[in-house]
A and B are shown apart, each in its own frame.
Chain A
Amino acid sequence: MSALGTVVRAGVSRRRVQTLVMTLTTMMAVTASVLAAGLLVVSQGPFDHAFAAQRGAQLTVRFDPGRVGAAQVAATARVPGVTSAAGPYPVLSLAPRIGANRTGMPVGAPVPPLTVVGRSGTGGPVDDLRLTQGRWATGSGEIVLGLGDNDPVGVGDRITLPDLPGRPTLTVVGLAASVGRSADAWVSPAEAAALTAPGSTAGYQMLYRFSSAGTDAQVAADRDAIAAAVPAGAIGEAASYLPVRQAAARNSATYVPFVVAFGVLGLVMSVLIIGIVVSGAVGAATRRIGILKSLGFAPAQIVRGYVGQALIPATAGSVLGVAFGNLLAIPVLHQEGGALGIGAPGIPLWVDLAVPAAVLATAAATALVPALRAGRLSTTEALAVGRTPRAGRGRAVRRLLGRAPLPRPLSLGLAHPFARPGRSATMVAAVLLGTVGATFGVGLALSLGDVENGIGRDNAGAVTVPDFSFSDNPGAVMRTADPNAVAAVIGAQHGTRSWFGTTMTQVGVAGLAGATQVFSFQGDSSWAGYQMVSGHWIDGPGQVVAPAGLLSATGTRVGDTVTLTDNRHRVPVRIVGEVLSLHQSLYTEQATLAGLDAFVLPGSTQYSVDLTPGTDGVAYLASLNRALSPLGITALPTQQRISPTIIAMDGLAAMLTAMLVAVAGLGVLNTVLLDTRERVHDFGVLKALGMAPRQTVAMVVTSVSGIGLLAGAVGVPIGIAVHHSVLPVMGRAAGTGIPAVDLSVYRLPLLVPLLLGGLVIATAGALLPAGWAARARTATALRTE
């Protein structure tokens, strides 16, 4: 090994604790950065990633078999601009109902109409399906369902087709995901033929990818090119992948604002910690540099040696950080990938390379500055460093505190930050960033919880009464109860404090294409507690509240009037509030819709019941069900839904917060350790004068307590400001505003511990070196130069 190599190795191994801290700090920084940058990249393009990997269909076309034959459809694969195609596959529209199942769904309940395609397997040149559960449908009576958010049935369950002759039953043998949502379900081609109604012909589905399909206009041009290759009117439906892409982007975009916030905090923290660590390590070894120069080391060797000493633990930390970052990303990305049915996407390789490269470059650049300074030092100057008493700043503060009525170890500790203001400032910055992260993370979790609670208000009350029932017999028709009779039973039930009914209808809204879903309320819905972003909840007929997405789509604001229509009648209604909701729906009283012949979704009516305090819920439910029995319906305890997206966001925020806080603590640990090592002789003197171990610990901890308190006092308001800035952006990305009540989570009982958080971080970081200082042998410390 060369002399330089020996010196570098000795320098690294001599300061084992500091090397370890630097490795851990770099590991934390790289872990947080890889995670943040990786999530940022992945969350911006999960759809594109999955779409490319699965060769998703950019255009899904359903041809009318009455106007075009299979051969001519197949020939469209050779239309100019088409790069690959799959099909033709037989395609059917089926209206199934739920059959025997193990998931507790009522048998006979309608399932939304399914577009079912006959395919012999998952693969193909276009739309490579991902089988997420079970197996592919190969035999008669088997079906594979597309992966959805709220799948009513699972593998092993059955669906029936009462509209087809013989009321055939299909068994779900698998769940599959099509990244472009090319179909709702798949059966074998033979089964598709069997399910085709007598006297009719299944349609043809073709899946295409094009050389240019990045915009609506390009996809439209591609569609026209296909249409030109077949007889006029042969194309029944042509679905672009772009709307699916936009919907997916909206989901993932919700992550981006807070991931960016954490990412920026993590990266700033990384730079800061590396700066503290490397500058400290090089600065502390200046006298050693003098010795090396006196032995004949050239300035360039000194520079290389000290940059190398910084890069060895930084490299080790970076490698570990990349590994941990990727490991920690798995559960988060699994949720993200699960939404698209693409499996868990990994952190991109370039992130795994770029982040540690950037961190190592930062480490090298940071180390270079003090290393160059050391390289330029004259040998005698370098040798003198460490022997010559430091200039020592903050003497006035030290004198002032020395006269304060405080135990001397505490006044010495309090005065210490003023002796090294630069180092203290970096420590303040580290703790401040940790406090900002903690404040933001805690506030984010609380706000998301409140938003979750607010959005979940459609499950208000302790008891829910669906206004319909099903027979256990497969194919039985759903029965609904008389709403007035149900209302009378609920109202008369002892223990009922309040109730309201909710029905989902569809009406037209002037200015919007297609039907709009409307939640209409019967009874007093004010206690449902829907959270208002602005305005107020409906308190009479003729009023509606709407979420931000609908207001945006209609170009209206709170206070405006919109017109509801059923094509024959028009009812103007006034928007009285913006409600927190991710539905593109309107909310109004049933009386508002009285003038419209609105389509009521079958089985959509349910009653929410709030109980009088002290009521036994189980006994109430039993009693209510006895009363409802003649109506043929059953009351159920209200099930609270928990959004997997919000769970994932909470998990991610908690993880990033914990990392930031840990890195901040490590920053303090390293700085105090460095400081303690430099002052070890002073500690020896103080201990020789009778300073007890407890007093030593108190002095070291006190030396960071002011820093912690200051960082807490400054960091908490900044964290709150970040929270108040990021949450609305997240809300906008999700298509809703955020109610002020969900932003106002920083109340006094929370603020006090957050303000003390900086002190906790600083104290936690200082405890280890304080213990080391207390345990250091006095005789050895006194011999230290």
Chain B
Amino acid sequence: MTAPIIQIRDVSKTYDVGLPALAGLSLEVRAGEALAVLGPSGSGKSTLLNLVAGLDRPSEGGVTVDGVRLDGMTEAGLARYRRERVGMVFQFFNLLDDLTVEDNVLLPAQLAGLPRTQAWERARELLERLGIDRHARAHPGRLSGGERQRVAVARALMNRPPLLLADEPTGALDSASAADVRDLLAGLSRDGQSIVLVTHDTALARSCATRTIELVDGVIARDSEVPGAVPAGATGTVTGIGEARAAVR
């Protein structure tokens, strides 16, 4: 068994009004595992993702990711954590429209202060790997939804994060583009990338998750392995993971 990359202990999150979004939730995700978080609207899926991403703080309990305890960190510490340890993919891409595809992808490395040459090489490698290198100089507004999401994935992987977080990555896409992104994430999962995926898309969960949990009213109602998925850290997948890491990292 690999070490847990995410450890969530008795986390509650209450906003200014209303019921708690998360209520005493505990969860552990192992490195290389691809976790799909399912559930109806308002069940706490995005809140959970925001806590893991360090975008929000729990009202109670503790969140530890890749050995880093998040709940007591300063804003500057959380920013550094996001630069170094997580990559994020959003439903509506969240690309900066004024920057080219290439500049969008470069941003995390530039914010982290990566040497220029190294950053450029990494960006070119990712654009090529994800099949969007021909759009490097284009602005995101000119790309299709699927292409934009590929750019977002490339940007998320730029700093080689141990953990990839995806919030409804196919939610704003047509079916063809959704299938395209589904394949991309499934490939990453097969390659051993740790992923937490919030989605309503059961096909996406089936194709790329190794485990699913279902949230209802801020608590885990169901936690199950995906049948047929390769367990993270299983020796039988080492070759595949190794090849994938070589390509992506």
Binding site for B on A (CB under 8 A): 389-390, 392, 395, 398-399, 402, 405, 407-409, 419, 681-682, 684-695, 774-775, 777-779, 782
Report chain A residues within 8 Å CB of B139: 392, 395
Contacts A395-B139, A399-B103, A779-B50: A691 and B98 contacting too (C-beta < 8 A)? no
Task: Determine the chain B residues whose CB is within 8 A of the CB of A389 once the complex forms.
Answer: 97, 140-141
C-alpha gap A398/B96 in the complex (Å): 12
Most buried by B among A402, A409, A779: A779
User: Is residue B112 contacting chain A, with contact meaning CB distance below 8 A?
Assistant: yes
Q: Choose one: A688, A693, A782; the contact of B75 (CB below 8 Å).
A: A693
Q: What is the size, in residues, of chain B's interface with A at 8 Å between Cβ atoms?
A: 35
Q: Are A390 and B107 in contact (CB under 8 A)?
A: no
> B111–A402 contact, CB under 8 A?
no
Q: Is the CB of A691 within 8 A of B79?
A: yes
In the complex the two chains form, is B94's CB within 8 Å of A690's CB?
A: no
B50 → A minimal CB distance (Å): 5
Cβ-defined contact, B80 with A692, below 8 A: yes
Min CB–CB distance A268 → chain B (angstroms): 32
Contact residues in B for A691 (Cβ distance below 8 Å): 79, 111
Our pick among A399, A688, A693, A775 for the contact of B82 (Cβ within 8 Å) is A688
The answer on a CB contact under 8 Å between B99 and A398 is: yes
Contact mask B143-186 → A, CB, 8 Å, 1/0?
00000000000010001000000000000000000000000000
Whole-angstrom distance between the alpha carbons of A779 and B56 in the complex? 6
Among B80, B82, B97, the residue within 8 A (CB) of A390 is B97
Q: How far is the CA of A782 from the CA of B46 in the complex (A)?
A: 12
* CB-contact partner of B110 in A408, A681, A782, under 8 A: A408
In the complex with contacts A389-B141, A395-B139, A689-B55 CB distance below 8 A: no
- Are B50 and A687 in contact (CB-based, < 8 A)? no
* 8 nearest A-B residue pairs (beta carbon): A690-B83, A408-B110, A692-B79, A389-B97, A690-B82, A779-B55, A392-B98, A778-B55
- Complex Cα distance, B107 from A689, in Å, reads 8
**A688 close to B83 (CB less than 8 A):** no
Partner of A408, one of B84, B88, B107: B107
On chain A, the residues within 8 Å of B113 by CB distance are: 407
- Picked from A407, A774, A782, the residue with its CB within 8 Å of the CB of B55 is A782
Given contacts A690-B83, A690-B84, are A685 and B96 in contact (CB under 8 A)? yes
Contacts of A688 in B (CB 8 A): 53, 55, 82, 88, 94
A777 to B57, CA, bound (A): 10
A691 CA / B94 CA spacing, docked (Å): 15
Q: Is the CB of A402 within 8 A of B103?
A: yes
B binding-site residues for A, Cβ under 8 Å:
50, 53, 55-56, 75-76, 79-84, 88, 90, 94-100, 103, 106-108, 110-113, 116, 139-141, 155, 159
Query: Can you spell out 16 A-B residue pairs with CB atoms less than 8 angstroms apart?
Result: A395-B98, A395-B100, A395-B139, A398-B98, A681-B94, A686-B107, A688-B55, A689-B88, A690-B80, A690-B81, A690-B112, A691-B79, A692-B79, A693-B75, A775-B75, A782-B94
Partner of A399, one of B53, B56, B84, B100: B100
Interface centre among B98, B103, B141 (most CB of A within 10 A): B98
Residue in chain B with minimal CB distance to A687? B79
What is the minimal beta-carbon distance from A687 to any residue of chain B, in angstroms? 7
**Interface of B (DSSP majority class):** helix
CA distance A694 to B111 in the complex (A): 11
A621 to B95, CA, bound (A): 81
Do B108 and A690 touch (CB < 8 A)? yes
Question: Cβ of B79: which chain A residues have Cβ within 8 Å of it?
Answer: 687, 690-693, 695
Indicate if the CB atoms of B111 and A695 lie closer than 8 Å. Answer: yes
CB nearest neighbor in A for B87: A689
Cα A399 to Cα B137 with chains together (Å): 10
With A682-B96, A779-B50 as known contacts, state yes or no: A693 contacts B55, CB within 8 Å: no
Q: Please, which residue of chain A has its CB at the minimum distance from the CB of B109?
A: A408
A773 to B: closest C-beta gap in Å? 12
When C-beta atoms are compared, the residue in chain A nearest to B90 turns out to be A782
In chain A, what residue has the closest Cβ to B81? A690
B178 to chain A, nearest CB (A): 21
| Given A395-B139, A399-B103: A689 touches B111 (CB 8 Å cut-off) | yes
Docked CA distance A691–B109 (Å): 11
Tell me the smallest distance from the CB of B85 to a CB of chain A, in Å. 9
Q: Which residue of A lies closest to B165 (CB)?
A: A688
A689 to B111: give the CA distance in the assembly, Å.
8
In the complex, residue of chain A having the shortest beta-carbon distance to the beta carbon of B76: A692
CA distance A690 to B108 in the complex (A): 7
**Cβ-defined contact, A689 with B155, below 8 A:** yes
Task: Chain B residues near A419: list those with CB within 8 A.
Answer: 98
How many angstroms from the CA of A293 to the CA of B166 in the assembled complex?
A: 36
**Distance to closest chain B CB from A86 (angstroms):** 76
Residues of chain A contacted by B110 (CB below 8 angstroms): 407-408
CB closest residue in chain B, given A774: B75
Q: Counting chain A CB atoms within 10 Å of each CB, which of B56, B82, B100, B155 scores highest?
A: B82
B47–chain A nearest beta-carbon distance, Å: 8
Across-interface contacts of B88 in A (CB, < 8 A): 688-689
> When chains A and B are docked, how far (Å) is the Cα of A774 from the Cα of B78?
13
**How far is the CB of A242 from the nearest CB of chain B, in Å?**
69
Q: Which of B56, B76, B108, B141 contacts A689 (CB 8 A)?
A: B108
